[in-house]
A = this chain, B = another copy of it.
Amino acid sequence: MRDVARRAGVSHQTVSRVINGEDTVAPATRDRVRRAIRELEYVPSAIARSLSSDRTHTLGMVTTDISDHFFAEAVVGAEAEARKHGLFLIIGTVEEAASDDEGAYLRLMLEQRIDGLVIARPRRRVAGDALLRRLTERVPVVEIASDVAVPSVEVVDVDNRQGGLDATNLLIERGHRAIATVTGPLDWPSAQARLEGYRESLRRAKLAETASLIASGKDWGLESGEHGATRLLDGGKRFTAVFAQSDLLALGAIACLRRRGLRVPEDVSVVGYDDIPVAAFVDPPLTTVRQPMREVGALAVRLIVERTGRDRAAAHRHLLRAPVIERKSVAPPAVTALRA
């Protein structure tokens, strides 16, 4: 910068003014400085700027696993929104288990003086809340898909309860009365919320809830879907539809149903959750609930941007609605099934 100043025959401060587009610079001077900048291929240092201005224009985002489509989408949304505001996004993947790892990483991000932090960890964090609280004192923090109770931390999430409700409602609207569900692991708040939605839907339709029509997976994967469906079928109680809390659970369930000689959707309708990329391409194309993860990520960033310098006391919970995507895996119940 001093070089540029010297070359243009002005002071460094004037160079700074030109760079920041201040209007108190005479056009002739401005052009001279611009030329010097170009000739020297000068690139201003954001670090130095950060040091004085105490703003790094950098946000941190910590997730459990970006290779999971769910988080990847959130990151994409966050990144796009961040860029819109001229911010960078530093990402960090922290294994579910390694909570001291997380601590160390957050500390490093703090050292980097990030301007805000997005945390995307769907499961309740046992420890680290103290750290999180200390963090919020220094920098705005927004959590994604979490049920943290730390005050002054805003939370952005998909409305899982509503999603479960809508999914079940769809089945009821199509004429189903015996509706089973395969949940995710119930220690996940999202699984609980979807189950709640399912129950609420049954209640509203004045349908009785049957314990043997509820199966819980030990994870969100395909095998759990198969096991779940197996348990449902062996439970004795007949059903014409299944609400699976994830697409993979749904796919697993479908595989199991088929093995038992049941057709989808003719004999059993299936609704999934997530709208993973292949959902539209499996057989049959899966009716599912789409989680607007990009918007979730974008909203998280927006909240941080808006909160910069704002009152930190106000912490809210922002729920985005997950729309039901209708495809081919849901049909009215077969007459025979109804009769049974």
Contacts and interface: CB of A to CB of B under 8 A. Distances in A.
A142 B74 CA distance: 26
A interface majority secondary structure: helix
A10 interface: no
A44 B294 CA distance: 34
B56 A66 contact: no
Interface residues of A, number: 50
Interface in A207-259: 222, 248, 251-252, 255
A110 interface: yes
Contact of A111 (B43, B66, B108): B43
B69 A66 contact: no
A46 B51 CA distance: 10
Contacts of A92: 79, 83, 88-89
Most chain B CB inside 10 Å of its own CB: which residue of A46, A48, A113 = A46
A88 B108 CA distance: 9
Contacts of A222: 281
A75 B47 contact: no
A250 B282 CA distance: 12
B111 A251 contact: no
Given A75-B91, A79-B91, 9 more contacts: A45-B111, A46-B108, A47-B51, A47-B112, A66-B66, A66-B72, A79-B93, A89-B92, A282-B282
Q: What are the 10 A-B residue pairs with the smallest beta carbon separation, nearest first?
A: A46-B111, A72-B72, A67-B76, A278-B278, A46-B112, A47-B50, A88-B90, A67-B72, A222-B281, A43-B110
